Structure 1
Amino acid sequence: MPSRHTLLPRSAPAASGISSRSIAAMLDRLEARSGESHSLMVVHRGQVVAEGWWAPYSADRPHLLYSLTKSFTSIAVGLAIGDGLLSLDDRVVDVLPDRVPAGVSEQGRRITVHHLLSMTAGHPADSLTEAWEREPGDLVKGFLGLPFATAEGTRHVYDNSTTYILARMVERVTGRGLPEFLDARLFTPMGIDHAEWDRVASGAAFGFHGLHLTTESVAAFGELLRRGGVWGGRQLVPRDWVELATSRHIGSGWVLDGSDQADFSHGYGYQFWMSRHGYHGHGSYGQQCVVIPSHDLVVAVTAQGESQSVLDAVWEYLLPGVGHAASPQDDAILADRLRRLSLRPVPGSADPGRAVSARLDASAEGSALPGGTAVTVDPTDGGWRVRLGSLLEVEVGHGDWRESAPLGRPIVAAGAWQGGTYAADLYVITTPHRVRLAVDADAGTATATWSTPPLTGPSLELHARSPLMTRPDVA
């Protein structure tokens, strides 16, 4: 059993009635086809039966959830409604009258909490960028001022702005910031003490994105939902809200890179997606909290990948193993595999004593640093100290991972010499993202590119700061 503080009890798969072979087969699929996995936790009948982190990711490290944050904002709305402070029929213009633009349309005046939760306000597409361009200082005004394409309540369009406005409405009626409200009413009662939030420039939490939680906290959230809002014998969230939020309210569909996403076409609830089995909260790059009440199952995943592949692996490999326990020997083999999960450090030699200086070429797509940035690589005991401009100094290991936090947020890195090129992977470890640094010693040039660019912009300096305070770039 883990020595750290835990939120959920543990059980061997066989004792819980689930096949460790099925879990292993799901792992095979995730590692082969789902991009870069960072963590996995499987909860069956309220007990953790499998858990693993791909080093350098670890159990105690909060991970950026991207839009899985929306499902937590939905719970905050439900708590405010349960307190009698808000209702599904409340209109934005009535709750936030000081944030209504002049000349707002009649449809803008009719938008309610229900329309925001179900993302059926009537805009033709995600309004986030256009709304912020229209009103750089107030997304609520920008959202309400945009033209509508369809009648409210008739069509689901995934729209980040809706959740931002819900967060502001909760804050207005409760008199507390969204993080503080959820700390008091949800996280602290559950024993979750690692909730971190990214914020917009004003200091407000995004609401639609930016929550960082440990994998177990995500799994515990899913288990809370599976139990109908009950935790430790207390009804933390009204049962009727859990049922309402995780039920289908509107049809949905999603096409990614020309491919239909099967588990995003079964309908949308209140900031939850309906699935082929149960429902899920979803965040970009594969952040998932999957709840399958019919199988007493919760699956939490963090990753740098694609969510549909994760869900396919759950349905095809994990679900058939429920009710079909394997042997204790199979359980032991799985447990050993889960303990040894790791991403591969950059291969190559240490070449002790070798240093290099270069200037950054930012012409490559996804550059994490501006062109001309000075890059120096100096050997240290068993690794290197890498300087990127005047503000970022990162410790890099050889064959292992070293951690530093030059601007407050941790970066974990490993590197090696590959002939005349020094290469290092810099993981912004509380997010799904990493930067690959490549320094050509002969040419005196370097590149620093994101494996997948953060949705909040390409600046490594920005994402190394804690707390991150930004908003999506607008033209």
Structure 2
Amino acid sequence: MFPRSAPAAQGISSRSIGALLDWFEDRAVEGHSVMVVRHGHVVAEGWWAPYSADRPTLLYSVTKSFTSVAAGLAIADGLLALDDRVVDVLPGHVPDDISEHARRLTVHDLLSMTTGHAGDSLGEAWELEPDDLVKGFLQVPFTGSGFAYDNATTFVLARMVEQVTGRDLREFLGERLFRPMGAEHAEWDRVASGRAFGFHGLHLTTEAVAAFGELLLRGGRWGDRQLVPREWVELATRPHTVIPPSEGDSARGYGYQFWVSEHGFYADGAFGQQCVVVPSLDLVVVVTSHSPEPGATPDAVWECLSPGIGRPGSARDDEVLAERLRRLAFPLVAGSAEPGRTARATVAATADPPLPAGSPVVVESVEGGWRVRLQPIGEVEVGHGEWRESAPLGRPVVASGAWQGDTFVADLFVITTPHRVRLVVDGGTATATWSTVPLTTPELALHLRAPLMTRPDVA
């Protein structure tokens, strides 16, 4: 998608990019990938092994910004308008006892998350109407005022786009955005009906996310094609509500499914998935990670990189940075191989379990590692001193392990997500624990199926 360049050739210091990596390390940000684009050239890129350039990864709420673009395209086509009401576009989902407030809700209200819900309505809406989230959303009491981050608004917006275009959201964006940009491997997690969540669930490679940021930076233009109207990009990425500054959060306002910061705008997903656009520096930075400081990366991008703009360093500086990026990696599990040693255990009950309590675990020695049998997943390959990949249910899991005394330990990376599971087998007991519990479901088996399909069917 992008040409490559040394940082110095694009007028940016490698040391400033190194300072951003230092910022990750100082704050214990668990990086998975980073890409820096200046003047339309990739000047720095790296993946923490076993993450890699060719893998799409779960973006969580970065997905919302793509749904915003889908709405903008429908509006540009004359099929939708900002003042169109939910009840008029989706009349089959209107509850009998709908309130006057709900009856007035418009596309603008959904895009700007100013519907009047006091907070995120998603869980309550699904409880009220397990088979119709739109109807449930319209029944949740509207007791708030101003902006409130509300996942269900984007689900409703996605259904409105599909209604007026007559196209599935995935097909619509595939034709109008992804294929023209060369992003051929977009994957979408879905609700049980097969529809895309809209508010999360999109999987893209790091470079495809950077291309999206570059598209926005260029006012919706990709090469010689205007894929998204410039007017929509400008409207979507300016604040429609002001957010008071808070410690550790870059947001100063909210646009149309984009966050607005002091120096630009960004798309933001849970656990540290971010696409940061800084127009004044002609800069796009993409980070996928597990971050303990959500929302802090855009400020870090400015603080670390802006001092290096217009101050390119030496060729040696560029070489040092490139070598540092090549060496990014998670540590392999330490310990011995002990060929021929096996283990059998039963999974202990824990909170948010990746594996069912009471299910069997069998560890079998194979050349260079182990084959671990897990119910209801199947066989997972685990390497010793290396990563091994398997896909028992469709999506890959990448793992390393070792014996540590009488205990077998393995790290299982659900490599298309920010999450991993640590498996510990000690005697007849096995424990499985998420590094961070996924927002959709703790069931490991669901995250290894392509596509992940969860939640009740939504009409």
TM bin (shorter chain): over 0.9
Aligned pair 1:180/2:164, yes or no? no
Q: Deviations over 1:65-116 (max 9, x none)?
A: 0000000000000000000000000000000000111110001010000000
The residue type paired with residue 281 of structure 2 is H
Mean Cα deviation higher: 216-225 or 336-345: 336-345
- Aligned-pair identity (%): 67
Equivalent residue in structure 2 for 1:368, among 335, 354, 365: 354
Aligned pair 1:461/2:445, yes or no? yes
Give the equivalent residue in structure 2 for 1:393: 379
CA contact (8 A) 2:249 2:296 kept: no
SS in 1 for 2:146: coil
Equivalent residue in structure 2 for 1:72, among 50, 66, 73: 66
SS in 1 for 2:69: helix
CA contact (8 A) 1:30 1:309 kept: no
Q: Deviations over 1:122-175 (max 9, x none)?
A: 01110000000000000100000111113xxx5000000000001000000000
SS in 2 for 1:219: helix
| Residue 308 of structure 1: how far off its partner (Å) | 3.1
Q: Deviations over 1:277-323 (max 9, x none)?
A: 10100000000000000110000011112333433431221221111
Taking a change above 3 Å as real, the CA distance of residues 254 and 125 of structure 1, as seen in their structure-2 partners, is farther
Equivalent residue in structure 1 for 2:421, among 432, 435, 451: 435
Aligned pair 1:299/2:281, yes or no? no
Q: Supply the RMSD in Å over aligned alpha carbons.
A: 1.4
The residue type paired with residue 456 of structure 1 is T
For 1:385 and 1:64, how far apart are their aligned partners in 2? Answer: 26
Aligned pair 1:450/2:434, yes or no? yes
Aligned pair 1:347/2:331, yes or no? no
Give the equivalent residue in structure 2 for 1:279: 265
Give the equivalent residue in structure 2 for 1:338: 325
Q: What TM-score, normalized by structure 2, do the two folds share?
A: 0.97
Taking a change above 3 Å as real, the CA distance of residues 252 and 337 of structure 1, as seen in their structure-2 partners, is same
Mean Cα deviation higher: 322-331 or 302-311: 302-311
| Residue 252 of structure 1: how far off its partner (Å) | 2.5
Unaligned runs of 5+ in 1: 1-6
The residue type paired with residue 338 of structure 2 is D
Unaligned runs of 5+ in 2: none
For 2:171 and 2:224, how far apart are their aligned partners in 1? Answer: 23
CA contact (8 A) 1:129 1:472 kept: no
The residue type paired with residue 352 of structure 1 is P
Aligned residues: 456
Mean Cα deviation higher: 66-75 or 301-310: 301-310
Aligned positions of 1:4-403 closer than 5 A: 7-150=1-144, 154-252=145-243, 260-264=247-251, 266-305=252-291, 306-363=293-350, 365-403=351-389
CA contact (8 A) 2:248 2:296 kept: no
Q: Deviations over 1:223-272 (max 9, x none)?
A: 000000000111100000000000000123597xxxx44312x0100000
Q: Runs of 4 or more off by more than 6 Å in structure 1?
A: none
The residue type paired with residue 170 of structure 2 is P
Q: What TM-score, normalized by structure 1, do the two folds share?
A: 0.94
For 1:348 and 1:189, how far apart are their aligned partners in 2? Answer: 48
CA contact (8 A) 1:65 1:283 kept: yes
| Residue 390 of structure 1: how far off its partner (Å) | 4.6
Give the equivalent residue in structure 2 for 1:408: 394
CA contact (8 A) 1:30 1:313 kept: no
